[in-house]
């Protein structure tokens, strides 16, 4: 008995101390001050202090761990342990000042460190009495799709925990209305005689842009089987002949797009519902342009010469129709074949500049080890490694052999073809002339990769497709906009202008 | 879409809620017999013939037409200590008629200061100190009235249908969820869910009596409904509202207004709602308004199952108001009978006996009263019961069918959940009504080529 007491009592006491101490340690390491002792990010601290979570209506202050760790009993300890270890590693090995905190605050990154279960823990009732009409629709939608792992509360409530300057999750009626300083206003489109590069002028605006004459020719479309990082949809390689045409030197800029928006934007929101309106004849002639966007289409990165983003495929097509109308020429989206022909500019390598995709693709630690020289790729395109995480002006890069800039990288580009993974194998093995892609489909081709893509996805032959449902996921409007994507900010387009070899007409 | 549909389990748990309130016993999930085992009926639940006693519950009626009058009397027949203390209607004559009926049949006098007339009468009734709101106006007003009643934290009896367009349906779905969070009880006028033979039949089907459900039919084929001829002293608005069952913006058309009962039974028994409608319909003999008088809709469910729906309001045709659901082991009329695949009756609802000792349907508790017994019981036993979301889904089902027939196109649930269609004028006042009045025509006209 004595022996038992000798061993048991101290055990009991130590155990009790451990439990109490452990709990104390847990509490102690869960305070805001403790978090901030290692997480040195003054910008994030300040934006938290300006957010609605810092000063809630009830006066409660939401702590770091209440959003950035799951609720207790739902993986709290595990998450605390693993993130704690990773934080220690970062603390010792990295310089927090070198992080791009703006990028970290963006949805893709924020959702990794914000737990939906923690949102729900406090915001239990998704249908409080004070919920607005727009909120009702949005929460009904969330309720229907809540099992979709990629719809998170912060898809719409991104600024709840950290204030974001200029963040709007509402109809942005004043978008694009800021007029720039007065410049020459073009009254006429430019007159073009013959097949030579020209600078188009958009009438009733001060906007002009360069169109490059692309001579006709033959090329091999697609990538050979042995091209590094190639995907199956890039083959089999087909020999293609392309007739001469003009292609815009750069992706359609915000300046260009806003000229269209200003001249055509519909007042308020016109209904997109066809159903009951089948009898109402739409005016065949007038081009009704985009409605005001929801949120901030330029992502706050600035407009001007940066490529326009966030607009829908339908909007891009409408832009081309409008541009054709005001210039008297025939503008449209390029076919996928025209696009790749223009991109290659006579090259047959993975890029229109020298380099091995596999070497460029390496990043971080591996890149340092292999001492990659990325100077070449950096000088030609904006991709994941040099963007940093946003679009850039075309002046940042050098042109391709045809004189076109950002054919790959910066933003991906809409093409007129329907996307099918096996589109090339459905083409004849003989020489094909000006192919236009499959007759029908669900989604369209996008080409060129973007500032979000690694080197492998910005090869000349890389193909991709639109994802309409995903790109409208958080648009809470009923019906969803046909003009603006709520969840896509890395796709734009480039116009081509047709040229009739027989008549010389554009 | 699948996530919004109401699973059979949900329905069961709902029955169980009512069961706990002493209305329907929940002994349902037991006998899921497989193979050639002879069918053994599951015991039925116990029903209350009257709501339990308790402190006075005061109700206000909004919409004093035929159904409002009926619902008021049904409510007062549901149990002890129930009162109607406020009335609201657009028209004084309808209100007076309702007031007189309540006095004549139930001996209660609604005080004059609680009688409100006009488009804003609903809010005054809600604010008059009542516990329960009875909503029986034309359905176009229902979403707004429901939202106002729930915002004031009132229990509700709401007549079906609960809206006429997709915008209204979504509003009601949200209101239903808000009410649920507040623990309010809402019973809707889809009284088959409170009709004893239907519930007993559902209990057997849910226990597997006819196997897996693979298809069905829903009918509301009946004669012409009423219409009100114009009166030169009325404005257009007054005539439209007095003639509301003939105008789509007020009633939702008869596939919504009337046939919703049968569509609701299909959704109830299958535990799902259709995801698409492929319909047609026309107007052959209707006298006033802009509605069709016949619809035929093929409803498609997510699992590929089809249910056919048919409704008509024309005199002198084949009539039937019923449902039929086909399972892998048999079929049911959803009310009295279950049959095996050979057509042999395997179950029949045991109606109460009449004076001569024979089973008599007429002796079954009136479902129009039963729904109010269930309402009052849920409130008095503090067991909230809320069937509003189900009814919103069934109403949306009818709306989807109607639009598919009007347009001649397949119409999907997704489109409905994303449609901004809102019928009716933006301003409610007596005078001309700014709505399209032509009868919808589907498809394209043939044009002779030159």
The C-alpha of B170 sits at a distance from chain A's nearest C-alpha, in angstroms, of 7
C-beta of residue B402 within 8 angstroms of C-beta of residue B278: no
From chain B, the residues in CB contact with A127 under 8 A are 174, 177-178, 180-181
CA-CA distance, B135 to B141, in Å (whole number)?
A: 9
> A272 and B420 in contact by Cβ < 8 A?
yes
C-beta of residue B42 within 8 angstroms of C-beta of residue B393: no
Q: What is the CA radius of gyration of chain B?
A: 22
From chain B, the residues in CB contact with A140 under 8 A are 4, 170, 173-174, 417
> A144 and B182 in contact by Cβ < 8 A?
no
Nearest to A490 by CA among A294, A337, A309, A359: A309
From chain A, the residues in CB contact with B177 under 8 A are 126-127, 143
In chain B, DSSP finds a helix count (H) and a strand count (E) of 14, 15
Report, as an integer, the average pLDDT of B224-239. 96
Rama region for A370: left / alpha / beta (φ>0; ψ in -120 to 50; rest): alpha
Sheet holding A208-214, edge to edge: A198-201, A208-214, A245-248, A496-498, A331-332
Please tell me which of the candidates B4, B150, B441 has its beta carbon nearest to residue A143. Answer: B4
| Interface mutation vs chain B, best among A124, A275, A291, A469, most B CBs within 10 Å | A275
Report, as an integer, the average pLDDT of B344-367. 94
CB-based contact, A278 to chain B, within 8 Å: yes
- pLDDT value at residue A145: 67
Lowest-pLDDT range, A36-45, B34-43, B397-406, B410-419?
Answer: B34-43
Tokens of B298: 């093929």
C-beta of residue A476 within 8 angstroms of C-beta of residue A138: yes
Q: Is A16 exposed, middle or buried (0-12, 13-18, 19+ CB in 10 A)?
A: exposed
Q: Are strands A198-201 and A208-214 parallel, antiparallel or unpaired?
A: antiparallel
From chain A, the residues in CB contact with B150 under 8 A are 129
C-beta of residue A229 within 8 angstroms of C-beta of residue A459: yes
Nearest to A275 by CA among B312, B447, B254, B440: B440
The C-alpha of B340 sits at a distance from chain A's nearest C-alpha, in angstroms, of 37
Tokens of A290: 């985009």
The set of residues, in sequence order, having a beta carbon less than 8 Å from that of A80 and lying 6+ positions away, is A26, A29, A30, A65, A69
CB-based contact, A140 to chain B, within 8 Å: yes
Q: Give residue ranges of B with CB < 8 Å to any A CB.
A: 1, 3-4, 150-151, 167, 170-171, 173-174, 177-178, 180-182, 403, 406-407, 409, 411, 415, 417-421, 440-442
HSE-CB at B105 with a 13 A cutoff on CA atoms is 17
SS3 content of chain A, % helix, strand, coil (to 5): 35, 10, 55
Residues B45-66: tens digit of each pLDDT = 889 999 999 999 999 999 999 9
C-beta of residue B225 within 8 angstroms of C-beta of residue B232: no
Tokens of B176: 């239903």
> A275 and B167 in contact by Cβ < 8 A?
no
Q: How far is CA B154 from CA A38, B172, B180, B303, in A?
A: 52, 15, 12, 38
Tokens of B371: 């729904």
pLDDT-based confidence at B342, cuts 50/70/90? very high
Examine the pLDDT at B33 and tell me if it is beyond 60: no
Tokens of B426: 């933006």
ipTM of the complex model: 0.80
Rama region for A355: left / alpha / beta (φ>0; ψ in -120 to 50; rest): left
Nearest to A253 by CA among A243, A242, A263, A261: A261
In chain A, DSSP finds a helix count (H) and a strand count (E) of 16, 12
- pLDDT value at residue A148: 56
- pLDDT value at residue B139: 98
Mean pLDDT of chain B: 91
Tokens of A36: 């901030």
Lowest-pLDDT range, A169-173, A175-179, B10-14, B229-233?
Answer: B10-14
Nearest to B192 by CA among B26, B390, B424, B416: B390
Please tell me which of the candidates B174, B418, B442 has its beta carbon nearest to residue A136. Answer: B174
Q: For a pLDDT cut of 70, what percent of chain B falls above it? A: 92
HSE-CB at A356 with a 13 A cutoff on CA atoms is 7
The ranges of chain A with pLDDT < 50 are: 267-285
Residues B374-394: tens digit of each pLDDT = 999 999 999 999 999 999 999
Beta partners for residue B417, in sequence order: none
CA-CA distance, B164 to A182, in Å (whole number)?
A: 52
Total number of residues shown for chain B: 450
Tokens of B319: 């009539």
Tokens of A92: 């010792």
From chain A, the residues in CB contact with B420 under 8 A are 271-273, 478-479
Residues A386-401: tens digit of each pLDDT = 887 889 999 999 999 9
Q: Are strands B132-135 and B57-62 parallel, antiparallel or unpaired?
A: parallel
CA-CA distance, A175 to A298, in Å (whole number)?
A: 10
Q: Are strands A463-465 and A245-248 parallel, antiparallel or unpaired?
A: unpaired
Residues B261-314: tens digit of each pLDDT = 999 999 999 999 999 999 999 999 999 999 999 999 999 999 999 999 999 999
> B167 and A478 in contact by Cβ < 8 A?
yes
CA-CA distance, A397 to A385, in Å (whole number)?
A: 14
Nearest-by-CA chain A residue for B1: A144
The C-alpha of A257 sits at a distance from chain B's nearest C-alpha, in angstroms, of 28
Q: DSSP code of A337?
A: H
> B419 and A273 in contact by Cβ < 8 A?
yes
CB-based contact, A275 to chain B, within 8 Å: yes
Nearest-by-CA chain B residue for A140: B174
- pLDDT value at residue A365: 56
CA-CA distance, A265 to A288, in Å (whole number)?
A: 7
Q: Read out DSSP for B6-40? A: PPHHHHHHHHHHHHHTTSS--TTSS----SSPPP-
Nearest to A472 by CA among A164, A151, A165, A168: A151
- pLDDT value at residue A366: 57
Q: Is A124 exposed, middle or buried (0-12, 13-18, 19+ CB in 10 A)?
A: exposed
Examine the pLDDT at B434 and tell me if it is beyond 70: yes
CA-CA distance, B313 to B316, in Å (whole number)?
A: 10
pTM of the model: 0.75
- pLDDT value at residue A287: 65
pLDDT-based confidence at B253, cuts 50/70/90? very high
Cis? peptide before A479, omega within 30° of 0: yes
CA-CA distance, A157 to A214, in Å (whole number)?
A: 46
């Amino acid at each position: 008995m004595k022996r038992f007491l000798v061993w048991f009592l101290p055990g009991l006491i130590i155990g009790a101390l451990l439990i109490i101490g452990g709990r104390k340690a847990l509490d102690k390491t869960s305070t805001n001050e403790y978090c901030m002792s290692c997480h040195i990010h003054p910008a994030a601290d300040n934006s938290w202090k300006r957010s609605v979570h810092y000063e809630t209506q009830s006066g409660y202050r939401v702590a770091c761990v209440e959003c950035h760790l799951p609720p207790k009993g739902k993986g709290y300890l595990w998450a605390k342990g693993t993130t704690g270890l990773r934080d220690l590693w970062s603390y010792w090995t990295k310089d927090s000042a070198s992080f791009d905190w703006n990028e970290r605050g963006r949805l893709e990154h924020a959702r990794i460190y914000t737990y939906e279960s923690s949102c729900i823990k406090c915001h239990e009732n998704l249908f409080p009495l004070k919920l607005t009409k727009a909120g009702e629709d949005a929460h009904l939608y969330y309720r229907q799709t809540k099992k979709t792992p990629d719809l998170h509360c912060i898809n719409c409530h991104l600024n709840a925990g950290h204030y974001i300057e200029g963040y709007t999750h509402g109809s942005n009626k004043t978008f694009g209305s800021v007029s720039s300083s007065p410049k020459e206003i073009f009254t006429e489109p430019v007159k073009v005689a013959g097949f030579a590069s020209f600078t188009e002028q958009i009438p009733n605006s001060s906007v002009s842009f360069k169109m490059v004459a692309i001579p006709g020719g033959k090329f091999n479309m697609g990538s050979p089987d042995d091209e590094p990082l190639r995907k199956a949809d890039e083959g089999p390689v087909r020999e293609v002949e392309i007739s001469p045409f003009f292609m815009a030197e750069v992706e359609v800029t915000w300046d260009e797009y806003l000229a269209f928006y200003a001249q055509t934007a519909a007042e308020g929101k016109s209904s997109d519902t066809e159903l009951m309106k089948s009898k109402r004849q739409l005016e065949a002639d007038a081009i009704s342009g985009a409605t005001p966007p929801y949120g901030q289409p330029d992502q706050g990165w600035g407009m001007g010469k940066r490529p326009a983003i966030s607009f829908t495929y339908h909007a891009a097509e409408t832009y081309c129709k409008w541009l054709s109308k005001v210039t008297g020429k025939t503008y449209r989206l390029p076919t996928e074949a025209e696009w790749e022909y223009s991109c290659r500019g006579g090259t047959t390598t993975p890029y229109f500049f020298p380099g091995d995709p596999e070497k460029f693709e390496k990043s971080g630690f591996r890149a340092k080890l292999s001492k990659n020289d990325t100077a070449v790729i950096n000088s030609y395109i904006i991709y994941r490694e040099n963007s940093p995480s946003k679009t850039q002006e075309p002046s940042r890069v050098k042109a391709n052999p045809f004189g076109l800039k950002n054919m790959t990288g910066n933003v991906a580009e809409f093409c007129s073809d329907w996307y099918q993974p096996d589109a090339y194998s459905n083409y004849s093995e003989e020489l094909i002339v000006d192919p236009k892609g499959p007759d029908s489909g669900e989604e369209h081709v996008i080409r060129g990769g973007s500032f979000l893509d690694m080197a492998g996805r910005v090869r000349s032959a890389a193909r991709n497709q639109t994802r309409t449902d995903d790109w409208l996921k958080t648009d809470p409007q009923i019906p969803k906009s046909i003009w603006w994507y709520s969840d896509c900010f890395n796709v734009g387009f480039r116009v081509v202008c047709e040229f009739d070899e027989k008549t010389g007409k554009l | 879409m699948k996530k919004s549909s109401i699973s059979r389990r949900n329905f069961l748990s709902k029955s169980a809620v009512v069961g706990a309130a002493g209305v329907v016993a929940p002994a349902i999930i037991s006998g899921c017999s497989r193979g050639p085992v002879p069918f053994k009926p599951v015991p039925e639940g116990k029903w209350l013939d009257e709501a339990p006693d308790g402190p006075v519950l005061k109700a206000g009626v909004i919409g004093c037409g035929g159904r409002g009058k009926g619902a008021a009397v049904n409510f007062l027949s549901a149990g002890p200590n129930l009162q109607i203390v406020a009335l609201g209607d657009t028209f004084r004559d309808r209100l007076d008629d309702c007031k007189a009926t309540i006095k004549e049949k139930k001996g209660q006098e609604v005080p004059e200061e609680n009688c409100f007339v006009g488009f804003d009468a609903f809010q005054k009734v809600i604010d008059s100190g009542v516990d329960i709101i009875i909503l029986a106006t034309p359905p176009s007003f229902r979403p707004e009235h429901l939202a106002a009643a729930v915002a004031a934290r009132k229990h509700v009896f709401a007549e079906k249908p609960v809206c006429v367009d997709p915008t209204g349906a979504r509003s009601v779905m949200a209101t239903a969820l808000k009410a649920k969070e507040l623990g309010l009880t809402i019973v809707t006028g889809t009284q088959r869910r409170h009709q004893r033979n239907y519930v007993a039949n559902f209990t057997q089907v849910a226990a597997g009596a006819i196997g897996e459900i693979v298809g069905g039919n829903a009918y509301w084929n009946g004669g012409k409904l009423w219409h009100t001829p114009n009166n030169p002293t009325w404005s257009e608005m007054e005539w439209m509202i007095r003639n509301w069952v003939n105008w789509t913006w007020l009633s939702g058309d008869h596939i919504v207004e009337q046939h919703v009962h049968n569509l609701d039974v299909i959704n109830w028994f299958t535990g799902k709602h259709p995801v698409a409608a492929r319909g047609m319909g026309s107007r052959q003999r209707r006298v006033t308004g802009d509605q069709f008088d016949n619809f035929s809709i093929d409803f498609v469910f997510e699992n590929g199952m089809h249910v056919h729906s048919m409704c008509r309001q024309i005199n002198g045709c084949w009539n039937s108001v019923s449902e039929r659901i086909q399972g892998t082991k048999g079929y049911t009329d959803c009310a009295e009978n279950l049959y095996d695949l050979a057509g042999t009756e395997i179950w029949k609802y045991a109606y109460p006996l009449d004076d001569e000792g024979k089973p008599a349907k007429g002796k079954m508790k009136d479902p129009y009263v039963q729904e109010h017994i269930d309402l009052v019981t849920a409130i008095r036993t503090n067991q909230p019961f809320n069937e509003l979301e189900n009814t919103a889904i069934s109403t949306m089902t009818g709306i989807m069918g109607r639009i598919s027939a009007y347009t001649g196109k397949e119409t999907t649930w997704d489109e409905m959940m994303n449609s901004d269609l809102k019928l009716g004028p933006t301003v409610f006042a007596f005078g001309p009504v700014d709505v399209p009045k032509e009868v919808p025509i589907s498809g394209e006209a043939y044009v002779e080529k030159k």
